[in-house]
Amino acid sequence: MFFLKGHAISLIILILVSFPNAAAVESGTSLQKSYVDAGYVSVSEALQESSRHFKRDIHLPFQIPPIPFTHIFGRFHSASGEMNDEFEVEYINENLPENHFIIRVRPIEHQITFRENEIDHLIQLKNGTEAVYCFGNQFNMLAFEKNGWQYMLNIDKRAAVTANLDMLTAIADSIIETAE
């Protein structure tokens, strides 16, 4: 009888200790569902779809910001016409919303242009490629061109202490290295 009570108490403790983890799993599942519902898939699947659509390769960085992410999603976004077609990779942390990094890639012929008053810094990447750095309301962005693509690296402003301009520049340089 004592043996059964001990197991019952152990089972109750196990359930109570596991309950917060169950909530986290459910939270992660709902986060994943919301991204999947918005058209996100695995990065490799989105990259393949983008390469088929654009009929050329997109290069990704070897390096990402040194902050923890819990999820990574990819998406090929194709609106009516080709003007807004783009490949997107989104790194997020469901527990730390400020850990949010997005890579957007679009053909040069449909690039986003920046007005002079939107550009906070002009910088030179390792190989001499010019990049623009813009402070946004929610994200800071480094944009540059390579091999017929416009790359836009977006980092949540709240993570910009760790993932600053130097870090975004290093990530851009790693994309350029993979593309050469």
| pLDDT tens by residue, 57-103 | 999 999 999 999 999 999 998 766 666 789 999 999 999 999 999 99
Q: Residue 28: pLDDT band by 50, 70, 90 thresholds?
A: low
pLDDT reported for residue 11: 36
Average pLDDT over residues 26-31: 64
Q: Residue 5: pLDDT band by 50, 70, 90 thresholds?
A: very low
pLDDT reported for residue 170: 96
Q: 3-class DSSP state for residue 25?
A: helix
Tell me which residue has tokens 């290093």.
170
pLDDT reported for residue 143: 98
Q: Residue 35: pLDDT band by 50, 70, 90 thresholds?
A: confident
Query: Which range, of 36-40, 63-67, 107-111, averages the lowest pLDDT?
Result: 36-40
The tally of CA atoms less than 13 A away on the side-chain side of residue 157 is: 7
Sign of CA dihedral 137, 142, 120, 162: positive
Q: Which residues of 131-154 are buried (b: 16+ CB within 10 A; e: fewer)?
A: bbbbeeeebbbbbbebeebbbbbb
Query: Which range, of 1-5, 20-24, 41-45, 99-103, averages the lowest pLDDT?
Result: 20-24
pLDDT reported for residue 16: 34
Share of the chain above pLDDT 90, in %: 62
Are the C-beta atoms of residues 64 and 101 closer than 8 Å to each other?
A: yes
Using the predicted structure, report yes or no on whether residue 131 has a pLDDT greater than 50.
yes
> Two tokens at 82?
């080709």
> Two tokens at 176?
């350029």
Mean pLDDT score of the chain = 83
Residue 88, class by beta-carbon neighbours within 10 Å (0-12 exposed, 13-18 middle, 19+ buried)? buried
pTM of structure? 0.81
